[in-house]
Amino acid sequence: MRLPAGFVASGVRSGVRKSRPDLALIVCEKGATAAALFTRNRFPAAPVVLSRAALRESGGRVQAAVINAGCANAITGRAGAAAARRVQRRAAELLHCPPERVFLASTGVIGVVLPDARIRMALPAAVARLSAGGLDAASHAILTTDVGPKVAAASFQAGGRRRRVVGFAKGAGMIHPDMATMLAFVLTDAAAAPGYLKAALRRAADETFHAISVDGDTSTNDTVLLLASGAADAADAAALEEGGPGSAEFEGALTRVCSELAWRIVRDGEGATRVMEVTIEGAASRRDAKLAAHAVATSPLVKTALHGGDPNWGRILAAVGRSGARVAPARARLAVNGLCLVEGGAPAAYRERDAARLFARERVPITVHLGAGTASARVLSSDLGHDYVSLNADYRS
């Protein structure tokens, strides 16, 4: 797949990871409007701190994004911050731009200072290989324990022109709202004002990246970067803005891309074999609905039952019951893919075989009605099986 107009990318091997590509570069030569969302973890990694400051300094303009896998450069103190700055400066030199226009993101082991010399040595090769067809190489170079690359695309019409939105991401472990060891890069050839871009990204992320969970942990490095090159527009065309022409179409395409990436992150979660879509309805408030949805989505008892294909609704309601959300037990309902298992707070008449068949599918939609109001929320989550344990009892991340 080709990148949206105005972008080139590459992926190379720097040696941070043994024998596989681990360094991705995205460049918008004329500079892109940028918006980013970062982890809310209180131990933000060095690249998160650096990139947040750079965006502020540049007024939301990005010319290059340098992404490495294999080392998170998190909880590394001053040495880690200095290593990140050296990578930023070297990329700026090679691309002839101010350092604050270079955005960094890292994923991998926590507590190890970025071996920045290797990355600086590899940067000239990454620059030399930049191309409009570099999406494939870049999307591979950011992976860790991911099953495979995650790429999604959508297009929209505005002002009679077709524009594109293309995203790629990595996921696997520490996936949870606010956010996860999740890196996502979404590029569009539309022109957009930075303030509007941030608002649009927040809205799209709230329903997608913020509504997924693999293991309840939020990493130190999570980053979603949205870049708008404006290359599909005439030089004097109006940029997308809040409520302006084309903005609804743009946000539709953006949400589709984020939604597809979010689904793939959960589906390819560490050791995942199936995905549950937990929908809470009838909650007294949106906060209650989210509390209940997250309690179910992160319950190890629910996740292991899902792994075993066991329609164990008792564990689901027990998780709802301890979530803190208000519940009217005598009005509670639970359904799996439309099959009602609990009605009025007591078991409904259903055949165990039918329920078990629905629980054994790749996608398991679970709806719980709390009987306490009208608010709702939805969260995607993966199952918890032996492969998750094997990956995480041995892999150092």
Quick one: how far is CA 151 from the chain centroid?
12
Indicate whether 312 belongs to the interface with a second copy (CB under 8 A): yes
**Between 129 and 326, whose beta carbon lies closer to a second copy?**
326
**Between 228 and 320, whose beta carbon lies closer to a second copy?**
320
| Pairing verdict, β 61-71 and 102-109 | parallel
Token pair in block for residue 273: 């074999």
Indicate whether 223 belongs to the interface with a second copy (CB under 8 A): no
Exactly one of 68, 106, 299, 382 binds a second copy (CB under 8 A); that residue is: 299
Exactly one of 2, 300, 361, 374 binds a second copy (CB under 8 A); that residue is: 300
**Residue 298 annotated among the catalytic residues of the structure:** no
Whole-Å CA distances, 178 to 29, 105, 209, 217, 234: 31, 16, 8, 9, 37
Exactly one of 243, 330, 351, 353 binds a second copy (CB under 8 A); that residue is: 330
Exactly one of 10, 76, 208, 229 binds a second copy (CB under 8 A); that residue is: 76
Exactly one of 101, 210, 294, 315 binds a second copy (CB under 8 A); that residue is: 315
Q: Name residues whose C-beta falls within 8 Å of residue 86's C-beta, 6 or more positions apart in sequence.
A: 116, 120
Site size with a second copy, rule: CB under 8 A = 69
**Between 170 and 176, whose beta carbon lies closer to a second copy?**
176
**Between 64 and 293, whose beta carbon lies closer to a second copy?**
293
Residue pair 14/122 in contact by the 8 Å Cβ criterion: yes
Give the residue from 190, 203, 184, 183 showing the smallest Cα distance to 106: 183
Instruction: Give me the catalytic one of 33, 181, 223, 279.
Output: 181
Exactly one of 224, 228, 266, 319 binds a second copy (CB under 8 A); that residue is: 319
The Cα 366–Cα 62 span in angstroms is 41
Q: Which residues of 148-180 are buried (b: 16+ CB within 10 A; e: fewer)?
A: ebbbbbbebebeeeebbbbbbbbbbbbbbbebb
> Near a second copy by CB under 8 A, which window of 140-148, 156-164, 236-244, 308-316?
308-316
Indicate whether 329 belongs to the interface with a second copy (CB under 8 A): yes
Q: Name residues whose C-beta falls within 8 Å of residue 394's C-beta, 6 or more positions apart in sequence.
A: none
3-state helix, strand, coil in the chain (%, to 5): 35, 30, 35
The Cα 102–Cα 195 span in angstroms is 19
Whole-Å CA distances, 323 to 168, 294, 298: 33, 8, 11
What is the x/- site pattern for a second copy, positions 23-52, by CB under 8 A? Answer: ----------------xxxxxx--------
Q: Tally Cβ neighbours within 10 Å of residue 352.
A: 9
Exactly one of 305, 335, 358, 380 binds a second copy (CB under 8 A); that residue is: 305
**Between 43 and 148, whose beta carbon lies closer to a second copy?**
43
> Near a second copy by CB under 8 A, which window of 85-93, 137-145, 254-262, 345-353?
345-353
The Cα 233–Cα 323 span in angstroms is 49
Q: Where are the alpha helices (DSSP H) in the chain?
A: 46-58, 77-95, 116-128, 135-141, 194-207, 247-267, 286-298, 300-307, 313-321, 352-359, 386-394
Exactly one of 234, 287, 344, 374 binds a second copy (CB under 8 A); that residue is: 344
Residue pair 121/81 in contact by the 8 Å Cβ criterion: no
Indicate whether 219 belongs to the interface with a second copy (CB under 8 A): yes
Binding positions for a second copy, 152-191, rule CB under 8 A: 173-174, 176, 178
Indicate whether 327 belongs to the interface with a second copy (CB under 8 A): yes
Closest approach of a second copy to the CB of residue 269, in Å: 11
Indicate whether 389 belongs to the interface with a second copy (CB under 8 A): yes
Token pair in block for residue 13: 């091997």
**Between 99 and 321, whose beta carbon lies closer to a second copy?**
321
Indicate whether 321 belongs to the interface with a second copy (CB under 8 A): yes
User: For the chain, how far is it from start to end, CA to CA, in angstroms?
Assistant: 30
Closest approach of a second copy to the CB of residue 301, in Å: 5
Indicate whether 220 belongs to the interface with a second copy (CB under 8 A): yes
Exactly one of 61, 150, 198, 307 binds a second copy (CB under 8 A); that residue is: 307
Beta bridge partners of 11: 24
Catalytic residue numbers? Answer: 181
Residues within the interface to a second copy (CB under 8 A): 39-44, 72, 74-80, 109-112, 173-174, 176, 178, 215-220, 298-301, 304-305, 307-308, 310, 312-315, 317-322, 325-327, 329-330, 332, 342, 344-347, 384-386, 388-390, 392-394, 396-397
